[in-house]
Amino acid sequence: MMKRFSKWCLPIFLISTVPGWAAGVWIDSSQVALTSTGATVINARLRASNGSDLTMADGAGSAATTGPTLGHNLGTVGAVSSQQYAFTLEHRVGQGMIFRMVDNQTTSQTWVLAYGSGFSPGLPGASPPTLNVATQATLGGRPPSGLAGFNSLRLEVQASEAHAAAPAEEARLSGLYFTSPTLSVQDGAFDPVVMTPTTPGQAFGEVVGGVATVAPDGFAFQRLVADEPLTAHDWTLGGNVLVQRSGGGDGESVRFVVYGQQVTAVFLAVDPIPEPTAALLCGLAGLLGLRRRRA
């Protein structure tokens, strides 16, 4: 009996003592319960507008309206609405954040916003196929090192104000992914979304403080939560985005935004690693079995 017990317990004891378990992220996951959402410390957005279509700003505001501005004008509403873009939002530890938008339908022109300094590898140049690169060492007077240790990314798409003229308002996300050399996806995945002003809102099961998040018509929210500050890791969020509308205005009614937020969360998944006391008992049983065999 002791021999069988030691064979089962000893491998578990050894596994339970391996140090350095990897940090993780959860995406639209039922294994995460948010107890509260705190400050939004940074955001990056694309909107269908006649100016400042692509922006990055501190806090929750738009760099187009609440300076300082770090942004590009990709063109008129018609020009922006005619394209699907491939985007990446990248964080580099000790360097900053990079927001790239690539016209992946026609010219492969690239727009780059870089918040920080000392980027290595370097940023692409300002010659074709790159249209423009804008860099700024600080946002709101704050360097990237001054960012609070946000641990969540909230993705929002919005198409909320109908226009009679073509093209009809629409916001799309597809092919979303998250990669990191030091963060692994523990559960969940991003979903493709297509939103119009009459599409029922989607919050993908998010619960905050026991209350389910309700998204209005034309809005979709998705959330990634990490068990460590995202500012402590290199990572890239990417995918394809389309924002389409008619008319003029600032474009805030049709947009895609990524918010870097501070949240508190409870991770509900059961740790498969045994409790230390159980592991210790297994280890002792294994040692006794070895001693008995030697005798």
Tokens linked to 194? 């297509």
Tokens linked to 54? 């692509």
For the domain made up of 21-269, give the CATH fold: Jelly Rolls (2.60.120)
Quote the pTM value. 0.83
Write the DSSP assignment of 218-251 as a string of letters. Answer: TEEEEEEEESS-GGGS-EEEEEEEEEE--S-S--
Residues 6+ apart with CB under 8 A from 156: 219, 220, 221, 255, 256, 257, 258, 259
Residuewise pLDDT in 10s, the chain (295 residues):
434 433 333 332 222 223 345 699 999 999 999 999 999 999 999 999 888 899 999 888 776 655 557 999 888 888 899 899 999 999 999 999 999 999 977 778 899 999 999 999 999 887 778 888 999 999 888 899 888 889 999 999 999 887 777 788 999 999 999 999 999 999 999 999 999 999 999 999 999 999 999 999 999 999 999 999 999 999 999 999 999 998 766 788 999 999 999 999 998 864 444 444 444 444 444 444 444 444 5
How many residues appear in the chain? Answer: 295
